[in-house]
Amino acid sequence: MSERGDDRTNGNESENEAEDGDKNEREQTNQNQPPTGGADLSSLRTIADYQFGAGAGEALFPPAETLEVRRTSSGRPQQIHADGNGRIASFGTDGRFTMGLEGGRRLAAVLESPAYRVIVDDESEPFVRDGKNVFAKFVCEVGSDVRPGDEVLVTHERGDLLAVGRAELGADAIRDFETGMAVKVREGADTPSDR
């Protein structure tokens, strides 16, 4: 009877060793993947395409570029930085991006005007560049797709990117209102960035 007990023990030890080997193999494989709850760049590109339209993901996060993805302690992407160019975007807990000025430049290059844009003239340009909010009475044109809460690019009539921020009003309201904040500016072109 003791021999059988020994055989069972030896069998269990072999099974345990096999399980340990499988576990080590899984751990090595998982080191190459983002932590639990994380998203890789292809997932972030898909989200950007959904939020801003086709082509936005490739423009924001080009596959050929080395990007720094800063993550929370749980592994969720929090900020994406371009090497030497500053913050492209932050990834919110709501699953949407908030743009940095570098991200705004990249979007402005691929989105046809006036998509996701609020366009201002010379009168408010210096204030917006400085990071001040945009008021409805100073808006010359706005993209018809702009809704309250959307990330928008604030540009000059000439096409220069002045700031990035969050629309406080929808496109129709921005066109119709003579008072009220149209865009809560997050970062102006002349303000120090949050690198």
Say whether both 167 and 144 belong to one domain. Answer: yes
Final residue of a domain: which of 106, 129, 159? 106
Question: Would you state the pLDDT for residue 191?
Answer: 78
pLDDT tens, position by position, 65-116 = 999 999 999 999 999 999 888 899 999 999 999 999 999 999 999 999 999 9
Q: Which two tokens stand for residue 151?
A: 């990330």
Lowest mean pLDDT among 15-24, 50-59, 71-80, 118-127: 15-24
Count other C-beta atoms under 10 Å from residue 179's C-beta.
7
Q: Is the pLDDT of residue 17 over 80?
A: no
pLDDT of residue 85: 82
Place of tokens 């699953």: 95
* Higher pLDDT, residue 9 or 103: 103
Mean pLDDT to the nearest integer, 49-61 = 96
Q: Are 161 and 105 in contact (CB under 8 A)?
A: yes
Nearest 10 degrees: Cα torsion 79, 75, 95, 49: 70
Whether 9 has a pLDDT exceeding 70, the answer reads no
Mean pLDDT of the chain: 85
Alpha helices, H only, the chain:
2-30, 41-52, 56-60, 101-110, 125-129, 171-176
Judgement on whether residues 84 and 127 belong to the same structural domain of the protein: no
Round to the nearest angstrom and report the end-to-end CA distance of the chain: 71
Where among 106, 132, 148 does a domain terminate? 106
Residue ending a domain, among 85, 106, 127, is 106
pLDDT at 23 over 70: no
For residue 10, what pLDDT is reported? Answer: 52
The verdict on residue 131 lying in a domain is yes
Q: How far apart are CA 189 and CA 70, in angstroms?
A: 23
Structure tokens given for 188 = 């102006």
Question: Would residue 27 count as lying in a domain?
Answer: no
Q: What domain range is 101 assigned to?
A: 41-106
* CATH number, domain containing residue 143: 2.30.130.10
Judge whether 99 and 60 are in contact, CB under 8 Å: no
**Residue closest to 167 by CA, chosen among 195, 192, 194, 144:** 144
The domain spanning residue 75 has which CATH number? 3.10.450.90
